[in-house]
Amino acid sequence: MEIEMTTRIARSQSALHRLLDEIETGACPKPDWIHLQGDCRLDQMQPDARKHLLARLHACVLRGFRASNARPKSRAKRLAYWRAVAQAGFHDFTEQGWMKNYDSPFVENYDYVGPYLEGGLRALDAYQAYSSVLGTHDFSVEDFINTDLCRDVQTIVEPMAGTAEFAYQGHFRYPQFRYVMFDLDPDAKKHVEAKPWLPDTERHYVVADVLDEAIWQQVKSLTTGMSLCYIGKQSHHFFGAKQLYRLMELATSHVDYFMLEVPEPSLVADLEDEDELTREEMEDAGFQIGLTDKKGFSTNPLTNSLHFQLEAWDKRDRRTLFEYGDWTSWPHHTLVAFAELLDLKSMYFHGDKTEFVPVSEGEHDGDILENVTFMVFTRHH
């Protein structure tokens, strides 16, 4: 089901101030978005006045604001503008606009560029840089909960969670749900636990191996209501065939809906050696980021095996942020074949219908054939 959103428009600074006054006094409910148009330009304001206005905006919107009227002229001005908005608690890591977490009271600092400007590539926070280019921002818990299939879900499980954006962002929208995250990386746990969480939400971040049955039993004991488990960024490609089969078996025995973010249908042989992910503010600051092939290894089109890394580089230096060695790009039909062996139902997330549909319907559907990025497996038939 599509999510309905409210947008208010401000075409001048005085109209914006009037709208914010109305929201602050309770005369008008907080809209999801405020759209700044015409002369209502944030890029032309003095820094102090802008900071004050951004703080008011943050408290007055549920999701964020759009300001396609801002067009700073020089590289330096563009970077200063981007950093000012990011420091005021809004990011633009999706196409949707400048976003905060849903109705979040916390002004989070998204300016991951600052440390680079001070100390070069070594000073870059790898987790924050990862989030800006690969974080789970485009689809959220809300998108999947608003489906016929998952509407009774009350527990969100995020294995191989890393920066755990899925669970973290989701808890602002559904603070009454339970959240269970786990990963092998103890630094990722520290990173996620250092974020401001709403105090009343029940959450657990465990250091654990996704192939260990004990963590799944723990997940089950922490679950309330139906559970949706989400592995993002194709992380199941870390595993060989037997491990992946075991993962599907373990997960679907302990959660109701097991979802994987899958690649769009393509051949590994067609992949480029370098997938450049550089964002504009990175370029303005003087560095680039991309997924690059690991030297000495080549892609094997028969086994779908890949070796790559997330790298950052500038004129002086190069740094590996995260390694993805020995990765197998599992085609959808292998996942469906495993699901059949395990007697699971397999479904695709249909982007236009915003519903899960059985894989058998996908064969005749253009949207699914071209755009599939999520599959769900379940023992509920």
Of 209 and 274, CB closest to ligand SAM: 209
Euclidean distance between CA atoms 331 and 36, whole angstroms: 43
Q: How many Å apart are CA 38 and CA 17, to the nearest integer?
A: 15
Among 28, 211, 226, 277, binds ligand SAM (CB under 6 A): 211
Closest distance to ligand SAM from the beta carbon of 74 (Å)? 34
Tell me if 238 contacts ligand SAM by CB under 6 A: yes
49: helix, strand or coil:
helix
For residue 324, the minimal CB distance to ligand SAM (Å) is 7
Which of these ranges, 7-15, 55-63, 130-138, 325-333, lies near ligand SAM under the rule CB under 6 A? 130-138
Give the bridge partners for 288, in sequence order: 313
Query: Restricting to residues 265-294, which ones interact with ligand SAM according to CB under 6 A?
Result: none
Examine residue 232 and tell whether it contacts ligand SAM (CB under 6 A). yes
Q: Which residue is nearest to ligand SAM (CB)?
A: 232
DSSP 137-186: -SS-HHHHHTSTTTTTEEEEEEET-TT-HHHHHHHHH-TTSEEEEEES-H
**185 sits near ligand SAM (criterion: CB under 6 A):** yes
CA 110, CA 104: separation in Å to the nearest integer? 14
CB closer to ligand SAM out of 81 and 166:
166
Using the rule CB under 6 A, is 209 a contact of ligand SAM?
yes
Q: How far apart are CA 96 and CA 246, in angstroms?
A: 37
169 or 235: whose CB is closer to ligand SAM?
235
Q: With respect to ligand SAM, which residue has the nearer C-beta, 42 or 192?
A: 192
Q: Residue 258 class from Cβ within 10 Å (0-12 exposed, 13-18 middle, 19+ buried)?
A: buried
Q: Which own/partner contact pairs does 124-129 have at CB distance under 8 Å and 24+ positions apart? A: 124/287, 124/312, 124/319, 124/321, 126/321, 126/322, 127/162, 127/163, 127/187, 127/188, 127/191, 129/289, 129/312, 129/321
> Shortest approach of ligand SAM to residue 326 CB, angstroms?
11
Tokens coding 285:
């600051």
State in angstroms the smallest separation of the CB of 281 from ligand SAM.
20
CB 375 within 8 A of CB 347: yes
CB of 205 to ligand SAM, least distance (A): 12
Binding piece for ligand SAM, criterion CB under 6 A, among 68-76, 147-155, 197-205, 206-214:
206-214
d(CA 132, CA 321) in angstroms, rounded, equals 13
Torsion, CA 349, CA 208, CA 277, CA 275, rounded to 10? -80
* Pick 117 or 211: Cβ nearer ligand SAM: 211
Nearer to ligand SAM, 188 or 228 (CB): 188
Among 1, 3, 76, 184, interactor with ligand SAM by CB under 6 A = 184
**Region near ligand SAM per CB under 6 A, out of 103-111, 159-167, 274-282, 360-368:** 159-167
Nearest CA to 221 among 257, 252, 178, 260? 178
State which H helix or E strand residue 359 sits in.
Answer: helix 359-362
Residue 188 binding ligand SAM, by CB under 6 A = yes
Q: How far apart are CA 95 and CA 15, in angstroms?
A: 25
Instruction: Verify binding: residue 161, ligand SAM, rule CB under 6 A.
Output: yes
Q: CB-wise, 209 or 272, nearer to ligand SAM?
A: 209
Segment contacting ligand SAM by CB under 6 A, of 27-35, 100-108, 205-213, 373-381: 205-213
Among 235, 252, 328, 378, contact with ligand SAM (rule: CB under 6 A): 235
Binding site for ligand SAM (CB under 6 A): 134-136, 160-163, 183-185, 188, 209-211, 232-233, 235, 238
